[in-house]
Amino acid sequence: IAAAVTIGEYFKVSDHEIKEALEKYTPKNNRSQIIETINNKIILDAYNANPSSMIVALENFDSVKAESKVVILGDMFELGEESSKEHQAIIDLATSLSFDKKLFVGENFNLGKTNELQFKSYEDLEEYLKKNPLKNHSILIKGSRGMALERILDVIN
């Protein structure tokens, strides 16, 4: 935002026009996008994921006031030997928070221990959601770029 304002000022764009342009801007880069559909309100953060960003996202989403909250969490990649431990820690955190439904997708999350919904692949998640549509929820979608979880938007519209 600061860069946009600075560039606008450099090119002598009025403060009003800068403000208006910033208010109209909608990011489309899969980073903390807020998407309102006919059925759901979605926070899409499918660009990157690591343990610390997952923790912050989950804790922030837990503090959001909403009737029904769902998290769809995809694998975190490039964690090396710590992968199993870190994925289990995220499972433990997510299950301890006040979410109505927790869906974990990916081979790493599929190895963790939980009574929640686990899917080995994106295709398994997609199939489940087609049979069990999400309606009237606030949904957090977060996972590593390689999971490409933004694909699920077509299913959960």
In DSSP notation, 1-68 reads -HHHHHHHHHTT--HHHHHHHHHH----SSSSEEEE-SSEEEEEE-S---HHHHHHHHHHHHHS--SS
pTM: 0.80
Walk along the chain (157 residues) and give the pLDDT tens digit of each residue: 888 889 989 999 999 998 988 887 665 555 568 889 999 999 999 888 999 999 999 999 999 999 999 999 999 999 999 999 999 999 999 999 999 999 999 999 988 788 789 999 999 999 999 999 999 999 999 999 999 999 999 899 7
Question: Across 56-123, where does the E strand assignment appear?
Answer: 69-74, 101-105, 117-119
Matching residue, tokens 């860069």: 3
Virtual torsion, Cα 104, 109, 113, 114, nearest 10 deg: -10
